[in-house]
Structure 1
Amino acid sequence: MDNGLITFIIVTWNNEKQIEKCLDTLEQFTTVPHKIIIVDNVSTDETCNIVIKKYPLVQLIKSNENLGFAKGNNIALKKVQTPYVCFINPDVILTEDITLPAINILEQDKNIGLVTNKLCNVDGSDQLTTGRFTDLVSILVNVCHLYHFIPNPFRKTLCPEYYKIENGVFSPDWVIGAEMFMRTSDAKIVGGFSTDYYMYMEDMDICWKVWHQLNKKILYNADVSMIHLGGASEKQNQSYSKQEKIIINTFIFCEKYYGKKKADRFHKFIMTLYRIRRLLIYPFKVINKGNSLLEHDKNILNILKSLNYNND
């Protein structure tokens, strides 16, 4: 097949320290005919020069502006002609063939619309890869850290991000966007990633569209893994800025798919939980070195208060 079987799409932004390992291991472990498209978001380091000099077969699209994750992927998606596509981060390092198992799953089960594999840290420990769509349950479990007390079998549905699975597969609501395999036709039907967000929540959004527009499932395959250096680009953002983006985008997602009234209820609920947390934490602030947790909750409450909700 002249066009290959799958196209890998990588969006870069100042990834000179990661891109070689990513591309080298893609070539080393991918056993099917493939293409690679990189969309660069105005890197100021050597990312583009490295790709041009060392990887002449990679199609490099240099943007004149920082398009963000969603727009960058969507520009490349329009050019994909292979039957399958994989959206993959530049800070992923392969240790085995992740592609053939994913394609086999998609070929064998037409009810599956998106496949991802296990993400690991450099030391081999598992990363949080799966999640539950934002709702009252997920808010309660995460804000109150109830996942510590939930038996592992129940985490599968209540808080899949903390569900421990050594091998096998299961269908969570959504998965982290560091690596996603789809049929190209499906990816184009849902319009790729939503541009309603600028960093964070694009992955949850596309998984929602797979479930509700395509009426297909998300599949997490723990039998195949890779290293995800994790947040190589994110680390260039301040932590408060990251918190702000995540919270704002969470409510964009809620209003988009649940409506303003339900998003308002979520906002009121999460504000109440954080206020209770602060009351419980405050007496122990002397013990809490640096008051980091208090500062974190203060930041969260300030961000929540800045949103356009009148439920106080």
Structure 2
Amino acid sequence: MQLSIIILNYNVRYFLELCVLSVQKAIQNLNAEIIVIDNNSSDDSCAMMKQLFPNIKLIENKENSGFPKGNNIAVAAAKGEYICILNPDTVVAEDTFEKVLAFAKRQTDLGIVGCKLIDGTGNFLPESKRGIPTPWVAFTKIFGLYKLFPKSSLFNKYYAQHLGENQTGKVDILVGAFMVMKRELYNQLEGFDENCFMYADDIDLSYRALLLQKQNYYFHETAVIHYKGESTVKDATYMKHFREFMNFFYKKHFKQSVFFNLIARFGAFYFSMVKLFQGSRSLGTKAKIPPSQYILISDNENIREKLENKLQKNIQRTPLENGKIVFSQSISEKKNTEVILDTNYRSFTDAISFFETNKNKSFTFKLLPMQSNFIIGSNSNNDRGEVINL
């Protein structure tokens, strides 16, 4: 078997359904398996899997065993030469795995391969590629120096800015939302460290692959939607977690850093003061504004009518012209337009491309998963998004 896709789920039933639908389409030309492992969700994730995907292997944990242990359990049951660790709040393109596997097979020193991640607004997620978070690199992250000096090798290492988002190349650290590697390597590394504090697990696994003289790669030629994007909100709680998982990493691989602890504590104080002076409203968070118009990209008039009844709004249906989505000038100029893409009608590859092409154009995006009765999406990288049942 070529590939095993491991999806660890916890209480994200609708995102899981969308994810599995996209993965199923992406492995049609591969000898591959999907393994969903559920960490004792309290929603109906498992019932949904049994009803809609009875042929997919489902492992039901009796407790929430955490990200590292949950993935380790699933990989132990995997049969593929390669494995992909995949978050349930992702959407892959139809050719994602074929492209990534073809790239992986060309490498002689393969460690872990990551890909281009975008959020639900179509914007690139910089955590798709990162450097080793030494105390100095963490300092440049905490105080945003990587934004001020993106071309300086002194300040741009946290998000591996020596590579552009549309450049494939070697990086140090990859994100656990999408990781492809040989199962043999995963077993050699003994999987994720089950003692890992939250958020440090992918950093730790990536770094241990480097210690084995393997090379990690960022691969830009396929994009994956990751709805749980990195929050831009900075506050004392954020700094506390950041300090804890960095200290775990330093203690395991280096030594405790007095410098890092000092700057992290100062960062927590700084962001607390900023938040105090700006009021209780979180930094970087905008008030939600209802869409001024809704556009459905579909050839199904019944779906348009169903959406109108649910949303109590006028829905304009826009089919394709010569295989392309064409907006009238009045649509393009109107602010705050919600675009709903019917994946019964268009591929996930088309949807992802549409997100990227139309980002930052006053559009928000929702997907209507094939043969489903809900729309799903996110209007911000600060939250996972919303689900509207039809």
Q: Normalising by the residue count of structure 1, what TM-score does the alignment of the two structures yield? A: 0.80
Kindly state the Cα deviation for residue 105 of structure 1 after the two structures are TM-superposed. 2.1
Kindly state the Cα deviation for residue 254 of structure 1 after the two structures are TM-superposed. 0.7
| Larger fraction in helix | 1
* Letter of the structure 2 residue corresponding to residue 118 of structure 1: K
Q: How does 1:251-290 map to 2 (within 5 A)?
A: 251-260=247-256, 263-272=257-266, 277=270, 286=277, 288-290=278-280
* Letter of the structure 2 residue corresponding to residue 271 of structure 1: R
2:124 and 2:165 in contact (8 A); partners too: no
User: Are positions 1:27 and 2:24 aligned together?
Assistant: yes
User: Are positions 1:5 and 2:7 aligned together?
Assistant: no
Mapped to 1, the partners of 2:124 and 2:25 lie a distance apart of 23
User: Are positions 1:207 and 2:190 aligned together?
Assistant: no
User: Are positions 1:101 and 2:95 aligned together?
Assistant: no
Q: Residue 90 of structure 1 is aligned with which of 77, 88, 91?
A: 88
* Letter of the structure 1 residue corresponding to residue 57 of structure 2: Q
Mapped to 2, the partners of 1:162 and 1:290 lie a distance apart of 33
Kindly state the Cα deviation for residue 289 of structure 1 after the two structures are TM-superposed. 4.1
Kindly state the Cα deviation for residue 273 of structure 1 after the two structures are TM-superposed. 5.7
Mapped to 2, the partners of 1:121 and 1:153 lie a distance apart of 26
Mapped to 2, the partners of 1:11 and 1:162 lie a distance apart of 29
Q: Which moved more, 1:160-169 or 1:199-208?
A: 160-169
Mapped to 2, the partners of 1:285 and 1:105 lie a distance apart of 49
Mapped to 1, the partners of 2:70 and 2:194 lie a distance apart of 10
Q: How does 1:162-173 map to 2 (within 5 A)?
A: 165-173=164-172
Q: Residue in 2 aligned with 1:41?
A: 39
Kindly state the Cα deviation for residue 290 of structure 1 after the two structures are TM-superposed. 3.9
Q: How does 1:1-312 map to 2 (within 5 A)?
A: 4-30=1-27, 31-128=29-126, 129-152=128-151, 154=153, 158-160=157-159, 165-212=164-211, 214-230=212-228, 244-260=240-256, 263-272=257-266, 277=270, 286=277, 288-290=278-280
Q: Normalising by the residue count of structure 2, what TM-score does the alignment of the two structures yield? A: 0.65
Mapped to 2, the partners of 1:211 and 1:169 lie a distance apart of 18
Task: For residues 181-216 of structure 1, give each alpha carbon's deviation from its aligned partner in whole angstroms, at most 9, with x where no partner exists.
Answer: 00010010001111122431111010011101x211
Mapped to 2, the partners of 1:265 and 1:154 lie a distance apart of 20
1:271–1:88 distance in 2 versus 1, CA, 3 Å:
same
Structure 1: runs of 5 or more not aligned: 294-312
Which SS does the other structure have where 1:174 is aligned?
A: coil
Q: Percent sequence identity over matched residues?
A: 23
Which SS does the other structure have where 1:35 is aligned?
A: strand
Mapped to 1, the partners of 2:271 and 2:64 lie a distance apart of 38
Which SS does the other structure have where 1:45 is aligned?
A: coil
* Letter of the structure 1 residue corresponding to residue 186 of structure 2: A
Kindly state the Cα deviation for residue 264 of structure 1 after the two structures are TM-superposed. 3.2
Kindly state the Cα deviation for residue 151 of structure 1 after the two structures are TM-superposed. 3.5
1:118 and 1:221 in contact (8 A); partners too: yes
2:116 and 2:220 in contact (8 A); partners too: yes
* Letter of the structure 1 residue corresponding to residue 247 of structure 2: F
1:96–1:152 distance in 2 versus 1, CA, 3 Å:
farther
2:240 and 2:268 in contact (8 A); partners too: no
1:241–1:231 distance in 2 versus 1, CA, 3 Å:
farther
2:69 and 2:194 in contact (8 A); partners too: yes
1:156–1:219 distance in 2 versus 1, CA, 3 Å:
farther
2:93 and 2:222 in contact (8 A); partners too: no
Kindly state the Cα deviation for residue 66 of structure 1 after the two structures are TM-superposed. 0.5
For the pair shown, the structure with the greater C-alpha radius of gyration is 2
Which SS does the other structure have where 2:14 is aligned?
A: coil
1:165 and 1:222 in contact (8 A); partners too: no
2:130 and 2:173 in contact (8 A); partners too: yes
1:65–1:241 distance in 2 versus 1, CA, 3 Å:
farther
1:18–1:155 distance in 2 versus 1, CA, 3 Å:
farther
Mapped to 1, the partners of 2:18 and 2:281 lie a distance apart of 39
Which SS does the other structure have where 1:61 is aligned?
A: strand
Mapped to 1, the partners of 2:150 and 2:197 lie a distance apart of 35
2:120 and 2:227 in contact (8 A); partners too: yes
Q: Residue in 2 aligned with 1:300?
A: none
Q: Which moved more, 1:146-155 or 1:203-212?
A: 146-155
Kindly state the Cα deviation for residue 244 of structure 1 after the two structures are TM-superposed. 3.8
* Letter of the structure 2 residue corresponding to residue 109 of structure 1: Q
Q: What do you get for the CA RMSD once the two structures are aligned?
A: 2.8
